[in-house]
Chain A
Amino acid sequence: MAVLVVAAHDGKTVRANVANAVAAAGQMDAEVHVLVAGSNAGEAAKSAAAIQGVAKVLQAEDAAYANWLAEDIAPLVVKLAPNYSHIVMAADSVGKNVAPRAAALLDVAQVSEAIQVVSPDTFVRPIYAGNAMATVQSTDKIKIVTVRPTNFKAAAGGGSATIEQIEGTGSAGLSSFAGAELSKSERPELTSAKIVVSGGRGLQSGENFKMLETLADKLGAGLGASRAAVDAGYVPNDYQVGQTGKVVAPDLYIAIGISGAIQHLAGMKDSKTIVAINKDEEAPIFQVADYGLVGDLFQLVPELTAAIEKK
């Protein structure tokens, strides 16, 4: 039986992490379908059809799906589930909201945030902020799995799957959408950026984050932060990297004024190269850093920005 990947999208394209989820799904079964549920989601469905490895896209049009309310999307997933061995979603804020609801309605467990597919019923997932790796085997007939996108190389484009229109399931009438306050940024999205510049409490203010923005723009980098920087209001919540924020694994991660608490490390220690700038030479961040620079960030960051500019 095939695998169904449930795709989040913005109406125009599916999220970049859907290609990672498709790659993970392909390791569970050779036949991968993608569900694109939405209101006017035709373009998004086309973008899903272009992902290699996708055999079929199911497009469900329903006004109720416009804002991805779990109460309305989960019943559609449940309706389709009997045709599939696995239901897969990226472990982002949509997947984490919708997948467990569908799992409970189907009376099956969820494998949360798998980082490896060992076999179609066995997965590796991090527990305790990534300080232990559990290999778990699902005994359920339908397996609901959220996957950590950074652990699966995105499937390439250039595919041409068929798109099939399916019926929606309507609104459950339990919840309604009342607007979003999204962070506007021209910078690359944090979880898919090749380079990430992150700041912590050491920055001392939101104003000082401008310094990191300048550095990030020179590098074409995304901008992240520690929980302490978010809690203090220096930057919005969606900047948070860590166990309870976003997980990133860029080629280069630059941690500035971040001490390196295990909860923060959980979100970035799979980065290829890690740089830490911190005035405390004992800071735990240096234990995971490939290159550590001890000193005052207010002096070093402008220096670094200038040095990169020079080429």
Chain B
Amino acid sequence: MKVLVAVKRVIDYNVKIRVKADNTGVETANVKMSMNPFDEIAVEEAIRMKEKGAATEIIAFSAGPAQCQETIRTALAMGADRGILVQTDADLQPLAVAKLLKAVVDKEQPGLVIVGKQAIDDDSNATGQMLAALLGWSIGTFANKLNVADGSVEVKREVDGGLENIKIKMPAVITTDLRLNEPRYASLPNIMKAKKKPIETLAPDALGVDVAPRLKTLKVEEPPKRKSGIKVKTVAELVEKLRNEAGVI
């Protein structure tokens, strides 16, 4: 079984975001970019499936500018076998990414697609669900644990009240949550090996996908700032303030 994983290039989670002065977006020039952390979890899960013999080949997919090659290389260094880059400088929204992924799925016929539950830049939490819809496949969102057996996947999901178990038919789409696994670091020999692994580059047009955005971003602004607070010296002072100043207890 082939497994397709989506890896998105995002601003590293440690970077302090700055909104552009002209309010068109956030500053991306000269900031550290990394693989979306949830996608590292997706890649790790696919590698573990391959190590257990449940998967035969892992394909890492990314959509975006040419630099997404680096993100794919990271996935290859972790253990993916080959990459597919859909190269475009367009503003890609989840529905467009889902359509690109669908076109690749139609070509590659994987048994599973694993994507992150949410990209930490746009925070949409939508791409995997949309892909499953377009394919007419089952979906296991917010996966905490997976067990692939006999043409189906048992998925333990992280939900509002705790955990939930579902069994879904394959082929299927999975979205990863934080507790699914702890992703490995790529070793130096594997980073070297990854340089020789193939990456195919495609254009959205060649896949017959219209990536035009459906949501127009009118402006991007700084969030309102909280006014700075004070330090209290003692518990008694804290309780007094909470009772008489804030009036919350």
Contact = CB atoms under 8 A, between A and B. Distances in A.
A156 B158 CA distance: 30
Interface stretch (A36-44, A79-87, A198-206, A286-294): A286-294
A71 interface: yes
Interface in B195-219: 213-219
Interface residues of A, number: 87
A262 B16 contact: yes
B26 interface: yes
A182 B137 CA distance: 27
Contact of A101 (B118, B121, B130, B169): B130
Interface of B: 11, 13, 16-17, 19, 26, 38, 93-95, 98, 117-118, 120-127, 129-134, 137-139, 141-142, 144, 154, 157-169, 177-179, 213-223, 226, 228-232, 234-236, 238-239, 241-242, 246, 248-249
A104 B98 CA distance: 9
Interface in A223-276: 227, 230-231, 236-238, 240, 243-244, 246, 251-252, 262-263, 269, 272-275
Interface in A185-240: 195, 219, 227, 230-231, 236-238, 240
Contact of A181 (B26, B162, B235): B162
28 contacts: A67-B166, A70-B141, A93-B141, A96-B125, A100-B94, A100-B130, A108-B214, A109-B94, A112-B124, A127-B122, A127-B220, A129-B17, A131-B223, A133-B220, A134-B220, A135-B219, A138-B216, A139-B214, A173-B169, A176-B167, A178-B154, A181-B163, A244-B177, A273-B248, A286-B229, A289-B229, A291-B231, A307-B239
Given A129-B120, A134-B220, A136-B218, A109 B235 contact: no
A308 B239 contact: yes
A292 to B, nearest CB: 5
A287 B230 CA distance: 9
Contacts of A238: 158-162
Nearest to A101: B133
A293 B231 contact: yes
